[in-house]
Amino acid sequence: RKEVEQDPGPFNVPEGATVAFNCTYSNSASQSFFWYRQDCRKEPKLLMSVYSSGNEDGRFTAQLNRASQYISLLIRDSKLSDSATYLCVVTPNDYKLSFGAGTTVTVRA
Amino acid sequence: DTAVSQTPKYLVTQMGNDKSIKCEQNLGHDTMYWYKQDSKKFLKIMFSYNNKELIINETVPNRFSPKSPDKAHLNLHINSLELGDSAVYFCASSQDVGRGNEQFFGPGTRLTVL
């Protein structure tokens, strides 16, 4: 079983829509969780950390469910510029990040 | 004022050759990483160095050898290149080891082995 699993999508949504997707992780000892964003042919960049109580950054909301071992990302009022691949990242130990294969979101005009 | 830089950006070479990719960070970070992203977009860690010491060495063929001459540089040398080595290789750095540290990635080196 992969350490981190994501629905690859693609999620095709119109501008202004809300889109949400999850990621599951296998190691219950994982302590830190992140969403990274990767544009086509570019490097990944941190979008936001995910805290136990859930957190919001503008139009982006992240949630963590430790009991079911998943994290989620919700994007409200989607913009064309939100089109990207969103990588779920989990830290199973102090030394490394485990990346999911990414969920592709395409926002259309 | 590039934070993490890699050279070359593109590398096309024949099977069996030896090649190197260089990485430098000017963020003053202590920890650096090499990742491989294959055609399925799966980003997998290969190595990590903290203050020039190897701390992560995932199951990577020993044809791959990282070298860290100082904590701002982490180079990757690959011997006897194979077709399956074709991928995008990303260098990254973080302030320190530890679960909460954000990683900053270089632009990637797209390696094609013919």
CB atoms within 10 A of CB A88: 28
Confidence check: pLDDT of B38 > 70: yes
Select from A97, A98, A101 the Cβ nearest to the Cβ of B41.
A101
Confidence check: pLDDT of B47 > 80: yes
Across the interface, whether the CB atoms of A94 and B40 are under 8 A apart is answered no
Compute the distance between CA of residue B68 and CA of residue B108 in angstroms, rounded to an integer: 18
* Residue-level pLDDT at A53: 86
Across the interface, whether the CB atoms of A32 and B99 are under 8 A apart is answered yes
A69: left (phi over 0), alpha (psi -120 to 50) or beta: left
Tell me which chain A residue has its CA closest to the CA of residue B99. A94
Residues 49-78 of A with CB under 8 A from B: 49
Kindly state the percentage of chain A with pLDDT values over 70: 99
Q: What is the maximal distance between C-alpha atoms in chain A?
A: 42
pLDDT band with cut points at 50, 70 and 90 for residue B1: low
* Residue-level pLDDT at B99: 65
Summarize the confidence of residues A2-22 as an average pLDDT.
94
pLDDT band with cut points at 50, 70 and 90 for residue A108: very high
Confidence check: pLDDT of B23 > 90: yes
Q: Which of A38 and B52 is assigned the larger pLDDT?
A: A38
**What residues of B are in contact with residue A98 (Cβ under 8 Å)?**
45
Q: Is A42 on the interface with B (CB under 8 A)?
A: yes
Confidence check: pLDDT of B59 > 90: no
* Residue-level pLDDT at B58: 82
The structure tokens 């074709």 sit at B86
Q: Is A44 on the interface with B (CB under 8 A)?
A: yes
Compute the distance between CA of residue A27 and CA of residue B75 in angstroms, rounded to an integer: 31
Compute the distance between CA of residue A2 and CA of residue A69 in angstroms, rounded to an integer: 13
* Residue-level pLDDT at A66: 93
pLDDT tens readout for residues B63-111? 999 999 999 999 999 999 999 999 999 999 998 877 678 899 999 999 9
pLDDT tens readout for residues A50-100? 988 889 999 999 999 999 999 999 999 999 999 999 999 998 777 778 899
Across the interface, whether the CB atoms of A43 and B98 are under 8 A apart is answered no
Q: Is A46 on the interface with B (CB under 8 A)?
A: yes
pLDDT tens readout for residues A13-44? 999 999 999 999 999 988 889 999 999 999 99
**What residues of A are in contact with residue B98 (Cβ under 8 Å)?**
94
